[in-house]
Amino acid sequence: MTTIKKKKAKMPSYLTVKQEATTSNVADMYIDGEIVTDEWEDSDTSAAGFRDALKSLGDVKEINLHINSPGGSVFEGIAIYNMLKQNKAKVNIYVDALAASIASVIAMSGDAIFMPSNSMMMIHNPYTVAVGNANELRKAADDMDQITKASVASYLAKAGNKLDEDTLKDLMDNETWLTAQEAVDYGLADEVLEPNKAVASLDNPFAKKFKHLPVQLLKQETPKPEDKSDSETLKQLEEIKERALQSSSALSLELLNIKENF
């Protein structure tokens, strides 16, 4: 029997709008996972879901968008970027830990971009998977060049005279992981904040998609503490095994003596 996973009807928890108690003119929003076309996990962010969240804000004067995302779908991210740029509210972006790939493009929508000193931003050329003949593969490469232009335009619009196109393309060609201070130096962020307790990190499965991931970003597996009950069980099993071997040896000797007596 095949089970079909149905899409959740309720708004994902990460898009919960938290309006400040002192005023209804300021609202907080969160992107804490991958940027996707269809939301299946609570941490997923789609353009449609983000649109609904923006609508739920009403007429606010200021939006604080917190980002901790490894990226995802280019077009979904570009749509979210444009929604924020077209919104009348002032947009403050907080890179809580990581803004990588298309998530870094979304960050460029901010009127102000804040990065704690232990957060990171990654910029690179978008990639895809292509199958086909030589002509189809060449077209796929040409299409990727066109798609890249959207990200380039977003970065340059934010950076101003701090970053020229040639330097930016070189950074993107080499999948560059920027510290908070480096992002500010390139004009891709505005201010370095005090460090968060939770530093930027990535789950190993998603990290395989990147070529130059800093080692310190890989989530380390926490050693599982030894279960005393399991240890005791193993010890008891070893004792039982030893007694069984001893009993087996004794039984074999007894059988041997019986055979000799006969």
- Crossing angle between the packed helical segments 134-159 and 165-173, to the nearest 10 degrees: 130
Count of C-beta atoms within a 10 Å radius of residue 20? 13
Among 125, 208, 214, CA closest to 178:
214
- Given 46, 66, 69, 124, the catalytic residue: 124
- For the beta carbon of residue 29, count every other beta carbon within 10 angstroms: 21
Question: Which one is catalytic: 101, 104, 109, 119?
Answer: 101
101 is catalytic: yes
Which residues have CB under 8 Å from 196's CB, separation 6+? 96, 97, 116, 118, 119
Q: Does residue 249 carry a catalytic annotation?
A: no
Say if residues 160 and 59 touch (Cβ distance below 8 Å): no
- The letter for the amino acid at 62 is E
Look-up of token digits 């990654």: 122
Catalytic positions: 101, 124
